[in-house]
Structure 1
């Protein structure tokens, strides 16, 4: 019986066929990332081309585009290239709540354009508390350590749809682990305190804790939610996502390849505390 099973296994392995799959060349799609904010700055915009999913270089900087940002109020802001795919406004400016903005990009004699995106009203952070909990010291099971995390008290404006993104900083550096994108909508808490549970963003004694509450449009919330699900599935925020995440950009001629990324207008409030 054992001899028969052995022969069947050999026969099965002998029947396996090696299949070579021809993967298509990467399309090097245009990727645009930029936000007009309510803080006076050069309002940077990044333009790159995507690379193959398996490539060690996730993007290719675009350094020869013509870039302008327009407002519905008639303002026009010209941009110039700086470095690594980034373009900055020639004159610093700030966005205005309630005003719509879009970007126009000339690339290889073809225009890329974003849809209009209105800047929401700023929602202020009322109070930033430093909360804490105890957990076992990973280096010494007989001791416990204190983990600090942000607890924010903020009232959501009632009677309207609001969409939010939370951004965290530790000692002035962007804090992206373990949650690179944190978004909310007020469907379940309209007009009440905005719920938050940010225990995964752990700080230590002496750290500078900074939290930014960003008001975003519904379209931006949908884009960031989809991007977050892609990053979470992939397990990293530094690589090319395995599926296309559609934003609000397009080639005007309607015949060129899809444009990736998002351009929008956001307003934000900050709060900072030093962990005791």
Structure 2
């Protein structure tokens, strides 16, 4: 049933159909500046009528992707790309979309919904809707001008494809509450950064794989949004300073350094998970 807002709009919250795709793409382009290339990849690899939309007078004015995944071995859903066209903001539309998504995952008996607030203000807003900080990571910064680069003989780097990364990753994840993605998610990640130098990699000590990660380079700065392994971030930075032309390296690993993601638990099936979790590849 359509809902009537206080401004006399009649709105309908529902799942999308293929006919809605042009309007959803328009919303994401307006709100996030997403390119046609990225949206082609996103819809080809991740779309399965899995976008909750708000329709007003036949026009889709807000949307949010629901991407199914797992936290450890338990099913859950990532809410991605929450977006409302500017003229329709401040009317409670996104709250209705998130409530609809919450009912959906409860019906599926999933563990919960999670998302990444883009700002501190949004973090407070999601907190008011029942979301709590749960995912954390640690971040390391290395500047070439104050880093003592040593000749690297112990470790080597090899580029791997997204399927090999998918196979390696569970062996390097120790956090039982880590988000685990399907191969198509990593395919989207690598294709999203196809215009920059980078890719999935493994680090070897002799013939033994001691770490894996993903990197990309922009303006002589290197970003490693995930590194998993048995060597220190400074050793990873030294290896990259030896191998590529870069003056700055940012490395993110599992850890308790800063919050990266909030969860709304489905308390109808169980109590909230205790402790914290780990989450990477949010599709920036």
Instruction: Give the TM-score band, short-chain normalised.
Output: under 0.3
State the structure with more CA Rg.
1
Greater percentage in strand: 1
Greater percentage in helix: 2
The two structures have a TM-score, normalised by structure 2, of 0.24
The two structures have a TM-score, normalised by structure 1, of 0.24
